Structures are given as structure tokens and as C-alpha cells.
A = this chain, B = another copy of it.
Amino acid sequence: MITLYQQHDSGNCYKVRLVLSHLGRPFRTVAVSSFDGSTRRPEFLARNPIGKVPTVELEDGRFLAESNAILLHFAEGTRLLPADAYDRAKAYEWMFFEQYSHEPAIAVRRALSVYPERRAEATPARMAQLLEAGNRALAVLERRLESADWLAGGAFSVADISLYAYTHMAGEGGYDLGGFPAIGRWLGRVAALPAHTPITAT
């Protein structure tokens, strides 16, 4: 069975639970966290030398890290990755956008807001800069979703899973999604899918 090494309330880890839920693939979870030092212990570093979650152990015992790489691996050959070459490239484009322009603002501002361990980093200048960068990323998403139901091609895909994870928690980081109505409707469409699982589900 697939094993997911994770911190449950991390959006990057949630992405993996979401894709496995949509694919109906069973998995077990093992809790590790940077806050209690367990991602720096030798037994975890043997699984992922970078010491980051999510890390997945596949059925054959091999390991894979980086949330979006895990999404693409599980989605390969399924309806969650567009079959058309250009649509698939657009899925890649959104997923690299997520890791470069979206997550480093929206996930980080949330982390600085909700984790006491990181509060010292939440200086006014840093928080202002993260707010501006995150709103810029949200505006890019909004623009796409004003004219399309899904991010890549015409159907729900791993690109939507990737962007959904931290976007749906943006409020915890102080972002006001009220100004992004198309994003709001898209969040509702994702959450209404039959195989959807909320982040709080175990």
C-alpha cells in the first residue's frame, strides 16, 4: 500500500490525499513534522534527503517527493491528467506557477499567521510583501477562471488539485477571496465533486 509521510494540515500534503481520493487508491499516513524535528531524523532523511513532506513510499518501496511531482506521477494515464499534449502542458504550466508564484506567498503567509513557531518571521514588511505577491497570484487565477471552469483543458485535473490546496485556505493567511468571485465559484465546483475530501478528514 502507498504510504504518505505528511503533516496533516499542510496544503502540499493535502494535495496528495486529494489525488488519491479522486483515484480511489488506498493509502496509509505517517505523521512527521518540521516543528517536532521528525523531518530531520536519520530514519526520515533516508527516505527523503531533503527532509520535506509530503514524501510518498510507493508500493514497490521506492520514494518520491515534491507534491506536484507526486500528483503528476499518480495522475499519469488517468482522467486527472489531460490526454491532449497542449492541455497537459498547460497543466504543467499551472503547477509550476503554483510552486513559484502562488505557494511561496499564500502558503507562507498562512504559515506565518497560524503556526506560533513561525510568528517571529511575520514582520510587517514581510507580511505586506507576501500579501501583495499572493494577491497578484490570485489575480492570475481569477483571470483564467472568469472564462473557464477548470485550469487546464476542459476538465478537472491535477492542476486544479494543486492550486486548490492553498487557495481554499488563503483566508487563514489574511487574503480576502471576496474580491475574486470566479475563484470562489471554482472552489465550490472542486468541493462538490463526488470524490472530494476536505482537509480536515483523516
Q: Which residues of A are in contact with B by a Cβ distance under 8 Å? A: 49-50, 58, 62, 64-70, 72-73, 76, 85-86, 88-90, 92-93, 95-97, 99-101, 103-104, 140, 143
Contact = CB atoms under 8 A, between A and B. Distances in A.
Contact of A92 (B72, B85, B86, B88): B72
A97 B100 CA distance: 10
Number of copies: 2
A89 B104 contact: no
Contacts of A99: 96, 99-100
28 contacts: A49-B143, A58-B86, A62-B86, A64-B86, A64-B89, A64-B90, A66-B92, A66-B96, A66-B97, A66-B100, A67-B96, A68-B92, A68-B96, A69-B90, A69-B92, A69-B93, A72-B89, A72-B92, A73-B85, A73-B86, A73-B92, A95-B96, A96-B96, A99-B99, A99-B100, A100-B100, A100-B104, A104-B104
A52 to B, nearest CB: 9
A175 B97 CA distance: 26
Q: Which of A67, A68, A85, A100 has the most chain B CB within a 10 Å cutoff?
A: A100
